Chains A and B, each alone.
Chain A
Amino acid sequence: MSVRVFVPGDSTACALGADQVAAALVDQARSRGLDLDLVRNGSRGLFWLEPLIEVETAAGRVAYGPVSVADVAELFDRDLLAGGEHPLALGPTEQIPYLHKQTRINFARAGVIDPLSITDYRRTGGFAGLDRALTLSGQQIVDAIKTSGLRGRGGAAFPAGIKWQTVLDTAADQKYIVCNADEGDSGTFADRLLLEADPLQLIEGMTIAGLAVGATRGYVYVRSEYPRAFAVLRAAIALAREDGYLGPDVCGSGRAFELEARLGAGAYICGEETSLLESLEGRRGLVRAKPPLPAIQGLFGKPTVINNVLTLASAAAILARGADWYRALGSGRSLGTLPMQLSGNIKHGGVVELPFGMSLRALIEDFGGGTASGRPLRAVQVGGPLGAYLSADELDLPLDYEAFAAQRAMLGHGGVVVFDDSVDMAEQARFAMEFCVAESCGKCTPCRIGSVRGVEVIDRIRADTERTDNLLLLKELCDTMEYGSLCAMGGLTPMPVRSAVEKFPEDFGA
């Protein structure tokens, strides 16, 4: 009788040897005459335990990790396929506290299913949202999204329902759904993980969006740095099409929705929505002025819903389980769940999906286990390279869009990068400017030139050359970039820089 064993095919898991572990497991099983049914699932997102393998026993799924090739023989010696005892045994996977304490909506199926199995997807509630959406009018679907309180999860947190309403209200011969999967922020990997673990959820969410606003075509723009995610998504789209969930006649409804995955080409700025649209159109990723909003004049000049992976994926759950159920999570104007991503110098890095409201400190300490190095935590950057640095005594902020904004910080896409006390905050400030130099689209002088000058000014400060004057100059340069830039690239580069200067003056020679 064959025993199912799960080994993630996720990029991080494979970077830690999962492919080799999978091969060794198959090899060992064969040589011992054991019947092993290998499933390459997505990652559960508990990255410090990868490669994390699971065995489906009579009592349920039990986990072992982190497993290396060298461990495989002994695992079998200790009766792996029956869930035998072993130092790497973690017990029932879903009882692992890191996982158990989460509220997984977007990531409910991550690591549970085979990402490329429609059967697995259906069996775990997949396409229930789409089934329901097919019985509703476009306005009713939009109303559900509005009621849910869903805000864009890419970082700007704009109310998704309002965006969808605008597209629904704009008449056109063609409309589009575009998914922003250009997850360029350092410290973030939730989109990547979802694409590799549960791509059908995104496909379902985008189809629902298409039905809502009357869009019959969609594109997913995946960054070129995510080759595995792109491949898995393409395969999922092909499967969905084969089974009639995509195509000219979705689920026999007579409604059409065609979806295509497209690859980015290494430009961070193409994570900005209008730059992404330019790139999809085959142009340089220059940022467009708004108005006109993409909702009215977007891809190829047509009304376009452009949203982040998690935003669109959330639509599937919202339609399946109800807007009221979703908005009951979180509080204030931060409703539903946000998958936080713990990264950098962190002991237990991974995806932690929670309702809004927990404190950042609790996230970093209770889930993250503090720094990986064991040295004291000194700074945390939340919200990606354009987010503010927080000092060790500022961590009692609740994970809430408005609470972060009130502290001149940014929750963004939920990336949390932890630094220990070996960090040089002047070096980090310099990098913020350096990154802007590398990634600026070039349209705005304050961004294109300001960033270059920013690197020079910070270098002079670090070399103690007319430090006081240059600190003042840096402040004014930040003002110019903030007020004179068309988009957040130049506009928010001052955020990490200012936070570093203000909160860590000792690193700037004070």
Chain B
Amino acid sequence: MDADTVDSRVANVLDRLRHLPGALLPILHEIQHELGHVPATAVPAIAAALNLSRAEVHGVISFYHHFRTSPAGEHLVQVCRAEACQAVGSRALEAHVKQRLGIEFGATTADGKVTLQPVYCLGNCACGPSVQVDDQLHARVSPQSFDNLLAKLGGNS
């Protein structure tokens, strides 16, 4: 997507949402939904539209774990690290996932297929360990079933 298209997509989102009370989070969600992340070039435009400083907008983006400022890989894999999943072996799963993908949390595989992130609770606490791949939740994930999931994504990192 070229810079002009990015700018016009951002402008379109701002047009639609700027008048909402407390508009910034809905705007950031919509931009990330459309562009896959919140590009740095969007910040001045958002600031101008909402009469905020760029620092304020940057502060909001950086506060929330959900928003990313650079593109993610083709697929987002989130592994739950919270207590209920720990109780059924998520630490071992986490180690396996990192080893299998060859990356740490927050990174993307070299082939650009998978971005790995931690998540703290997906609300699947009776059927952990839990992993979310893009918008699909997976339950009772084991190292084996994770490998199967990965194979289905075509990821071979």
List, in ascending order, chain B residues with CB within 8 A of A417's CB.
Answer: 83-84, 87, 125
| CB-based nearest B residue for A193 | B123
Is A423 a contact partner of B87 (Cβ separation < 8 A)?
yes
Any A CB within 8 A of the CB of B88? yes
| CB-based nearest A residue for B52 | A282
Interface flags, A372-399, vs B, CB<8A=1, else 0: 1100000001000100000000000000
Whole-angstrom distance between the Cβ of B37 and the nearest chain A Cβ: 13
The contact of B83 among A14, A186, A267, by CB within 8 Å, is A186
List, in ascending order, chain B residues with CB within 8 A of A346's CB.
Answer: 126
Is A16 a contact partner of B127 (Cβ separation < 8 A)?
yes
Any A CB within 8 A of the CB of B28? yes
Is B64 a contact partner of A267 (Cβ separation < 8 A)?
yes
Any B CB within 8 A of the CB of A108? no
Whole-angstrom distance between the Cβ of A220 and the nearest chain B Cβ: 13
The contact of A344 among B59, B88, B123, B138, by CB within 8 Å, is B88
List, in ascending order, chain A residues with CB within 8 A of B84's CB.
Answer: 186-187, 343-344, 415, 417
How many interface residues does chain B have, given as a range? 35 or more
Any B CB within 8 A of the CB of A308? no
Is B60 a contact partner of A188 (Cβ separation < 8 A)?
no
Q: Given A267-B65, A284-B63, are A345 and B82 also a contact pair (CB < 8 Å)?
A: no
Whole-angstrom distance between the Cβ of A382 and the nearest chain B Cβ: 11
- A346 and B126 alpha carbons, distance in the complex (Å): 7
Q: Give the interface SS of chain B, mostly helix, strand, loop or mixed.
A: loop
List, in ascending order, chain A residues with CB within 8 A of B88's CB.
Answer: 344-345, 372-373
Interface flags, B16-39, vs A, CB<8A=1, else 0: 000001111110110000000000
Is B123 a contact partner of A16 (Cβ separation < 8 A)?
no
Is A415 a contact partner of B137 (Cβ separation < 8 A)?
no
List, in ascending order, chain B residues with CB within 8 A of A345's CB.
Answer: 87-88
List, in ascending order, chain B residues with CB within 8 A of A183's CB.
Answer: 123
Any A CB within 8 A of the CB of B115? no
| CB-based nearest A residue for B78 | A225
Interface size on A, residues (CB 8 A): 60
- A266 and B24 alpha carbons, distance in the complex (Å): 15
Is B29 a contact partner of A265 (Cβ separation < 8 A)?
yes
List, in ascending order, chain B residues with CB within 8 A of A415's CB.
Answer: 84, 125
Interface flags, A282-305, vs B, CB<8A=1, else 0: 111100000000000000100000
Whole-angstrom distance between the Cβ of A177 and the nearest chain B Cβ: 14
Interface flags, B59-85, vs A, CB<8A=1, else 0: 110011111000000000000001111
- A143 and B137 alpha carbons, distance in the complex (Å): 42
List, in ascending order, chain A residues with CB within 8 A of B103's CB.
Answer: none
- A428 and B90 alpha carbons, distance in the complex (Å): 13
- A108 and B21 alpha carbons, distance in the complex (Å): 35
Q: Given A284-B63, A385-B82, A423-B87, are A15 and B120 also a contact pair (CB < 8 Å)?
A: no
- A345 and B128 alpha carbons, distance in the complex (Å): 9
Any B CB within 8 A of the CB of A281? yes
Is A184 a contact partner of B120 (Cβ separation < 8 A)?
yes
Is B59 a contact partner of A12 (Cβ separation < 8 A)?
no
Any B CB within 8 A of the CB of A226? yes
Q: Given A285-B63, A385-B83, are A189 and B25 also a contact pair (CB < 8 Å)?
A: no
Is A227 a contact partner of B124 (Cβ separation < 8 A)?
no
**Cβ < 8 Å to B, chain A residues 340-373:** 341-346, 349-350, 372-373
Any A CB within 8 A of the CB of B140? yes
Any B CB within 8 A of the CB of A451? no
Whole-angstrom distance between the Cβ of A76 and the nearest chain B Cβ: 25
Q: Given A184-B120, A281-B22, are A265 and B126 also a contact pair (CB < 8 Å)?
A: no
Interface flags, A267-282, vs B, CB<8A=1, else 0: 1100000000001111
Q: A225-B122, A262-B25 are in contact. List 15 more A-B contacts (CB 8 A).
A: A48-B126, A186-B83, A186-B120, A225-B123, A227-B135, A262-B22, A265-B65, A266-B64, A284-B59, A284-B60, A300-B22, A344-B88, A349-B125, A372-B88, A417-B125
Q: Which residues of A contact B (CB under 8 A)?
A: 11-12, 14-16, 47-48, 50, 183-189, 192, 224-229, 262-268, 279-285, 300, 341-346, 349-350, 372-373, 381, 385, 415, 417-420, 423, 428, 431, 435, 438-439
A–B Cβ pairs within 8 angstroms, 22 of them: A12-B126, A12-B127, A15-B136, A15-B138, A16-B139, A183-B123, A186-B85, A262-B25, A262-B26, A263-B25, A265-B66, A282-B23, A282-B50, A282-B60, A283-B60, A284-B59, A284-B63, A343-B84, A349-B125, A349-B126, A431-B86, A435-B82
Q: Which 9 A-B pairs have the closest CB atoms?
A: A349-B126, A282-B24, A186-B82, A266-B65, A344-B87, A343-B125, A265-B64, A266-B66, A15-B139
